[in-house]
Amino acid sequence: MASETTPQGEAYQPPVGIDLGTTLSVVAYLDATGRPMTLPNRAGDLLTPSAVAFEDDGVIVGKEAIKDSVVMPQVFADCFKRDMGRAAYHRTVAGHEVPPEVFSGFLLERLKQDAEQRLGPIRQVVVTVPAFFDERRRKATQDAGRLAGLEVLDIINEPTAAAVAFGYHQTVLSPTPRRRGDRPERLMVYDLGGGTFDVTILEIEGGTFRTVATDGDVLLGGRDFDRRLFDYVAEAFQVEHGRDPRDDPHDAAQLWIDVQEAKHALSERSKAAVVCSHHGRRMRQEITREAFENLTIDLVGRTQTTTSLVLRQAGLQWSMIDRVLLIGGSTRMPMVVEMLRNLSGKEPDRSQSPDEAVAHGAALYAAMLMHKRGSHFSDLRLVNVNSHSLGVVGVEPKTGRRVSVTLIPKNTPLPAAQSRRFQTARAGQSSVQVAVVEGESPRPEHCIPLGKCVIRDLPAELPRGTRIDVRYEYAANGRLSVSASIPATGQSADVAIERGMTDEFDDLARWRRRLCPSLADDDADDDKDDAEQSPNTGDSNRPRGPERAKLLKQLDELYVRLGTQAIGVSVIAWLEEVQQDARGTAEAMREAERTLQRVETTYEATVDPVEKPQVAAMVARARLDVQNARAKARFALIDLGRECADAEFAPPGLEPLLGDIGRLRAAVKSE
């Protein structure tokens, strides 16, 4: 399809929305009439599996990548959306630790290329995220878009996007407000996708979509229902043949594919069968819908609990909800529909495509941002809420214990601002550090650190209890600003936390060469070309690509060594808070490890074939909790080590580390 042009001759790009899903992704655009349409990929499919594989000569995306998972599981990655915001994917791929943003970047790059075959060049898009994504995951999603060469106009919550699509199809987007008596229409969106779950209540009036409350689980989705079937069949095979097909990556990958097909069949039929092959033996396992529902009753129960919780958070009763809209492929399961029917007393609304509605809403929102295809789209207005509480770390005066103090509670309409008065903890305090966190826990180590602002060089005679004013501002576009001031001295500090692109990722071309062996030889030639074309010839020896990544890794290891020793010694005053952070995360890690040991012991003692998969799922969740806790503990040690280096502080005997860190920092800065 040839691209259109504007009267000035510039290439016209229609509004484009991308539903970047855990298991499936969808691209939509507005056609010439302003109607949202789903774009097929190069294979003619409307849905593209969110999976990538790395062959010798290139990156494979979608269905073909899933086929590769059976033959070459070590070069395959899927469900990387669940790892967004972490330092690396949960396992190595092609021998490398890879940030999940990179996998998402390759997926978005392919979606972009497929869309451009029909629309012409595409640069600006809106990308969707689960409503319950925290700031780190949202920022990681934008980073992935930029890696793919896209300008991410904004990110929109998936339930909100689905509501916008519903509003369009129900002609809510019109100059005449649609109301229920004396109030706007109230909609609950139940979004159970492949890997995440959200419940959001919105009020719709004309073109205004106002989020009232939202909650969810970023580690609950269709994938977890697949896992129950997967474990059920594998356990049955083990009982019959004495061998576990999960021990072979190739057989396990094939079993994953087969149980997914069985799950889909059980949404239409009362029973299905899976053939499991392993170690030269085969077994046919029949699964009834009733058995599947028994295996997953607790997963559906988790969504029911969250749904009821959101209703309470909104201060509403079911009689005040006009409709319950189902979104996400996993809502096709009959047990989900039945649960919601019984819970709400209403027939769930399945008028929207569970797979395409989110992408359609994103395209409509892109039209609003671009003011394309009719002025009525510029009247579309979204009022979101923050899905997690935002606050700062303070100290309780009586106990001296560090606590997280919420300034902007969860489900506050955005934009929002809040001020709070604190005071210095002791006389002669030389500095004040305001740590910015996100989360519901009163314990800072259980919250997500977002940044900090520090006021240093305070007067030595400053008395205990000196007033500190902290102001928190959270804009609708995700820009978070925190300022701290001390009126008595006139000193202040501030920090702005935005979802800007980080500089810690190389471009996709370099990652492609790292992960695809036959392309690796091109790297040296490209570096040579870069050096020849660079006007800054004096920097020809600076670290690049893998070399810079190696230096950063070495630097982190030194920070960990320094932080590990500093965690148990007396430190200077302005390092005390970050030291307490490291101690708290270390204790949280140990508690997660103890929990895992208890659950694994329970698993070993469980013999009931129905209970066994359920306990196995608990083990998998506990292992993930340990992985997350270990990552947090490591990051806390890195932070402590970095702060120690900044302060030129080292425990006795580790002074040479400061020199090593200084040299590595200088090498990295020369990049």
507: Cα within 13 Å, side-chain hemisphere: 7
**Whether pLDDT at 80 is above 60:** yes
Torsion region of 624: left, alpha or beta (phi above 0 gives left; psi -120 to 50 gives alpha): alpha
| Average pLDDT of every residue of the chain | 84
DSSP 373: S
Q: Which residue has the tokens 């008595």?
A: 488
Q: What is the pLDDT of residue 548?
A: 60
Single-letter amino acid, residue 323: R
**Whether pLDDT at 257 is above 60:** yes
**Whether pLDDT at 5 is above 70:** no
Residue 153, C-beta contacts closer than 8 angstroms, at least 6 positions apart: 124, 125, 126, 366, 369, 370
Average pLDDT (348-355) is: 93
DSSP characters over 202-255: EEEETTEEEEEEEEEETT-SHHHHHHHHHHHHHHHHHHHHS--GGGSHHHHHHH
**Whether pLDDT at 194 is above 80:** yes
Average pLDDT (89-100) is: 88
The more confident residue out of 8 and 291 is 291
Q: Which of 57-61, 267-271, 372-376, 635-639 has the lowest mean pLDDT?
A: 372-376
499-554 tens-digit pLDDT: 554 545 557 888 888 888 776 555 544 444 443 333 333 333 434 444 666 777 78
* Domains of the chain listed by start with CATH number: 390-497 (2.60.34.10), 520-669 (no CATH)
Q: Cα 459 to chain center, whole Å?
A: 43
222: exposed, middle or buried (C-beta count within 10 Å: 0-12, 13-18, 19+)? buried
Average pLDDT (625-635) is: 79
162-187 tens-digit pLDDT: 999 998 887 645 545 555 556 789 99
123-136 tens-digit pLDDT: 999 999 998 888 88
Whole-angstrom distance, CA of residue 461 vs CA of residue 426: 11
Tell me the C-alpha to C-alpha distance, in Å, between residue 541 and each of 511, 527, 531, 536, 670: 21, 11, 9, 11, 9
294-324 tens-digit pLDDT: 999 999 999 999 999 999 999 999 999 999 9
Whole-angstrom distance, CA of residue 616 vs CA of residue 231: 8
Q: What percent of the chain has pLDDT over 70?
A: 87
Q: What is the pLDDT of residue 117?
A: 93
Tokens representing 258 are 């087969």
pTM for this prediction: 0.73
Whole-angstrom distance, CA of residue 629 vs CA of residue 637: 12
Q: Which of 99-103, 316-320, 377-381 has the lowest mean pLDDT?
A: 377-381
Residue 267, C-beta contacts closer than 8 angstroms, at least 6 positions apart: 332, 333, 334
Average pLDDT (86-97) is: 86
Tokens representing 189 are 């969106």
Tokens representing 119 are 């629309």
419-436 tens-digit pLDDT: 988 888 888 888 888 888
**Whether pLDDT at 21 is above 90:** yes
Average pLDDT (271-283) is: 92
**Whether pLDDT at 568 is above 50:** yes
Give yes or no for a contact between 62 and 51, defined as CB atoms under 8 angstroms apart: yes
Q: What is the pLDDT of residue 73?
A: 87
